[in-house]
Structure 1
Amino acid sequence: MSFRIDPRLPLTGEVRRILADEVGKALAHLETAREKPEQGLHKCRKRLKSVRALLRLVRSGDEPFCQTENECYKQVSALLAGPREATALIETVDRLAAAFPEQSAGGGLDAVRDRLVMRQHEMHAGAGLDAAISAAAAACREGLGHIDRLSLPDQPEQAADILAEGARATLRRARKALDKAGSRGEADDFHDLRKAAKTHSMHLSLLGRLWPTPIKSRRKAVDSLGERLGDLHDVFVMRALLDADGEPLGPPEDTRLLAKLLKRSEKSLRKSCLADAIELFGDSPKRSTRKLARKARDDLAGAPDDLAAAAG
């Protein structure tokens, strides 16, 4: 079913429908993860991010429900973070090898990659992963039972204001993270920017019939930024492992090339991510969503007339 709010239908019913669909798909991916953890865990976490983005979008309409359920799915995602990260680190090494083929041609990254593959196998083979999947599935099934408790205003003006406020809150979050990333440049600042960009991308999908500007080009640009911010996050994680006690990635002679390539990759990603984020989130969040609120109000108010015309 569509991950998009239909303005012709009551907001409560639409949000309940999308929640049920996304949580149901997350459950299916959890079952896949028992046999294929690399695929299932990643897809499940993506569905959980979609669920949380939707809850953020309509939070002002039913704050107790949205806050409680968002925290629940945040904890579910955290249960699966470690095993997914193990796979992401291998992908990071492969990206570095592809980005710097001349430097890595001699196999200077092979020892590190072998250790990361062993680490991944250990995490996926243990009883802990199966327990985490079971706990996550139980929480998702419980969440499905809560969906009918959601109650949002369905009147056009109120529904429009809820959607506009949710979109605006995420844009404010992105702008704040952008300002910090530009001034301080800490890993957490870029991570917050990434999360806001991902949420905004999902809001663009949900509001595809209501967003007042050309949406395809913006969605493409936001998704590209989100992917590169994800690559930058993986670089930060890898560099932290390099500095960790016990040398989890190996002795200095095995990690020398990795450290060099991570530094180069980080510099390039920081520069490009900041430049594109300024283009996307540098404008005032209030100004960016004023048109959205007006268009949503008009579209939602016209929905009963559209349905009557279609029925006639």
Structure 2
Amino acid sequence: MSFRIDPRLPLTGEVRRMLAAEIGKAVGHLETARERPEQGLHKCRKRLKSVRALLRLVRSGDEPFCQTENECYKQVSAMLAGPREATALIETIDRLADAFPEQSAGGLDPVRERLVLRQHELHAGPGLDAAINAAVAACQEGLERIARLALPDQPEQAADILADGARATLRRAKKALDKAESRGEADDFHDLRKAAKTHSMHLSLLGRLWPTPIKARRKAVDKLGEQLGELHDVFVMRALLDAEGEPLGPAEDTKLLRKLLKRSEKSLTKACLADAAELFGDSPKRSAKRLARKARDDLAGPQEEAKAA
């Protein structure tokens, strides 16, 4: 079954189905992470983001449930952030080496070696196994709570819930974009990235209900999400460079890295702001109204057909 709302079926059942599927897959990836943490942790966190995006989309229909569950999976994801970040930093070094082959020419090797050692220490230590055990337990408990979710299934109310959730994320994106344009802080771009990722998942969930050509928009949002992810990794790396104790090595080993990070940050920032302005410059209210209107028609269709039969 797909990660997409079927307008022919009651909303509560659809959301319960997708929550169970995504959380179940997250547990499977956690088991994989015991032997292959690089792959398992990344895939698990992606599933948890899908769960949280779904909860955000229908939050106004059952706010106590969605708020509590969203916080639960936020904490689960945080348990796994450190080991996953260790891998992402190595990937950042490799991207810089590919982007600036002539300038890097092996000059990033000492930093990469330290990051690989750091990754091995995090993955081999008892902390990772404990984190995986805690995450599995939290997900299994969450699976048992899914039956408590109760959403209005009437077409008009269901349409308004979906439109409310989509609008809230578009507002988050617009607000983060405005801050990123005016201040340009790392946290502003991180908030923009989270909103873009959530919006991408909403486009998937609402693939049968979204009122505009969806394929091109989804492709553009995913591209923006990837660019913002790379920018986030650059910010994390720069923060490590400035941390006490020189975790990435002495200044002579990190001089080139600092220079390439600055160049990468400049180009990524420019590209992200331009692409985000294209995607989120429209009024969230206007977009949500169009969605609600189309969703009402699509959700009401099966009921009208049933009455006529």
TM exceeding 0.5 = yes
Which residue type is aligned with residue 145 of structure 2?
Answer: H
Q: Distance in 2 between matches of 1:282 and 1:288?
A: 11
> Does residue 176 in structure 1 map to residue 175 in structure 2?
yes
> Does residue 2 in structure 1 map to residue 32 in structure 2?
no
**Which residue matches 2:295?**
296
> Does residue 36 in structure 1 map to residue 36 in structure 2?
yes
- Detail structure 1 runs of 4+ shifted over 6 Å in the superposition: none
Return 5+ residue gaps in structure 1 as ranges.
none
Mapping for residues 96-135 of structure 1, pairs under 5 Å: 96-105=96-105, 107-135=106-134
**Which residue matches 1:214?**
213
Aligned residue-pair number:
309
**Which residue matches 1:62?**
62
Contact 1:89 1:238 in 2 (8 A): yes
Mapping for residues 147-296 of structure 1, pairs under 5 Å: 147-296=146-295
Structure 2 length-normalised TM: 0.99
Q: Secondary structure at the match of 1:170?
A: helix
Q: Distance in 2 between matches of 1:150 and 1:267?
A: 45
Q: Distance in 2 between matches of 1:121 and 1:84?
A: 12
Contact 1:8 1:306 in 2 (8 A): no
Q: Distance in 2 between matches of 1:134 and 1:125?
A: 15
Q: Secondary structure at the match of 1:211?
A: coil
Return 5+ residue gaps in structure 2 as ranges.
none
Q: Secondary structure at the match of 1:249?
A: coil
Aligned-pair CA distance for 1:306: 4.4
**Which residue matches 1:141?**
140
Aligned-pair CA distance for 1:104: 1.0
Which residue type is aligned with residue 185 of structure 1?
Answer: G
Aligned-pair CA distance for 1:308: 7.2
Which residue type is aligned with residue 100 of structure 2?
Answer: F
Q: 1:86-118: per-residue Cα shift (whole Å, max 9, x none)?
A: 00000000000000011012x100000000000
Aligned-pair CA distance for 1:288: 1.2
Which residue type is aligned with residue 214 of structure 2?
Answer: I
Q: Secondary structure at the match of 1:4?
A: coil
Aligned-pair CA distance for 1:289: 1.5
Aligned-pair CA distance for 1:307: 5.8
Contact 1:153 1:159 in 2 (8 A): yes
Aligned-pair CA distance for 1:305: 3.6
Q: 1:163-192: per-residue Cα shift (whole Å, max 9, x none)?
A: 000000000000000000000000000000
Aligned-pair CA distance for 1:304: 2.3
